[in-house]
Amino acid sequence: MSELMARAVTLDAADELSGVRKQFVLDDVVYLDGNSLGALPANVPGRVEDVVRRQWGELRIRSWDESGWWTAPERIGDRIAPLVGAAAGQIVVGDSTSVNVFKALVAAVRMAADDRDEILVDATTFPTDGYIAESAARMTGRTLRPVTPAEVPAALSGRTAAVLLNHVDYRTGRLHDLPSLTAAAHAAGALAVWDLCHSAGALPVGLDEHGVDLAVGCTYKYLNGGPGSPAYLYVRRDLQDQFDSPLPGWNSHTEPFGMRPAYEPADGALRGRVGTPDILSMLALEAALEVWDGVSIEAVRAKSLALTDFFLECVGAYVPEGRVESVTPVAHGERGSQVALRCDGAGEVMKRLIERGVVGDFRHPDVLRFGFTPLYVGFADVERAARVLGQVLAEAQG
């Protein structure tokens, strides 16, 4: 057994989160793509069967009340809240991330003063955020200005209405400074909107602590809610009365079944609801979130950093010199829960890795991306992934 393999065994034996792994449906594959789609929690299939067979099949319409379907968006929002550092009553679950970005950004602009005619958007953002921001700017008569997160403080001015930023860069895994960037936006009189897709469930966020105005995120990555599981919207409590959703649906009406022709918004985070909740995927998500019972997000973060440190060390030991370059920051304060390696022929390399039981993903044009979900990824997984990567690249080198 190599020294690195032996260390992996020792680290796994000391891992306080190792017992959580058994709550997931896993095989002998090293799964390092939880930053795209989380693994299946073992309790979800049975829960979904109950929702389909009993709640829908037997109770039918009665389940809106008797099974708690109607209150699911806010109930599950309160379940997510501790994972992103929010008190109850500020998160509502539903719709996609893209739809929630639209709601949050337009609402932020509407809350800003009329003379603030510019929106700043993360120039390195996941594409859909940029698309939505461009549309929101057109619809609200604002100018959109793409800047990198590092450029935000200098770009802020009395013209800035809102800033839309990603907490973790989806390509590189770089963690942006949410506290200081939020504070900079507020000092300039602007609102801060954060996309948490690549941070929620992987590291502490501190929405309330840092005064974030609005935030959105998906639930199918580190929260393991399943493919297409509904996203969520956070509206800070003291802004809820001002929150003017651009999508005022019947589900966010103060009296949904009053069927009034005039819209009157409900109180609180419920204003973020739009149409009928997608119950099947929403209740699958609720079941999936049970794996977080008794789990500390601080412990998750500590293990995430240890896993990514160990992976980088193993890559350095196993991979032929000069074949890969990490584009993920070394500093812990600048790193999310993934490692991105620049590599010639990355697409083909990832295919070979998957064939050998190591699953990550490829991002055009030359990035191998490995996501580390501390709830079910262990140190032996990390060592094996780096060792197989070294073998694949050595064989390709000839």
50 counts as catalytic: no
Residue 350 CB neighbours (<10 A): 24
Catalytic residue among 24, 31, 102, 126: 126
CA distance 127 to 122: 10
Q: What angle is formed at CA 170 by the lines to CA 274 and CA 355, rounded to 5 degrees? A: 110
Strands 338-343 and 367-371: antiparallel
**Residue 262 identity:** A
Contacts made by residues 14-23, CB under 8 angstroms, sequence distance 24+: 15/303, 15/378, 15/379, 16/299, 16/303, 17/295, 17/299, 17/300, 17/303, 17/374, 17/375, 18/378, 20/291, 20/295, 20/375, 20/376, 21/375, 21/376, 21/378, 23/291, 23/375
Catalytic residue among 145, 159, 174, 221: 221
Which three-class secondary structure state does DSSP give residue 349? helix
Q: At 384, list the tokens.
A: 């094996």
Alpha carbon 250 to chain centroid, angstroms:
27
114 counts as catalytic: no
Q: At what angle do helices 379-397 and 3-13 cross, to 10 degrees?
A: 160
Catalytic residue among 102, 170, 220, 243: 220
CA distance readout (Å), 258 to 236, 250, 261, 264, 273: 28, 9, 9, 11, 16
Catalytic residue among 195, 213, 361, 381: 195
195 counts as catalytic: yes
369 counts as catalytic: yes
Structure-token match 């819209």, residue found: 263
Catalytic residue among 116, 369, 384, 387: 369
Which three-class secondary structure state does DSSP give residue 373? coil
Eight-state DSSP code of residue 82: G
Report, as residue numbers or ranges, the catalytic residues: 126, 195, 220-221, 369
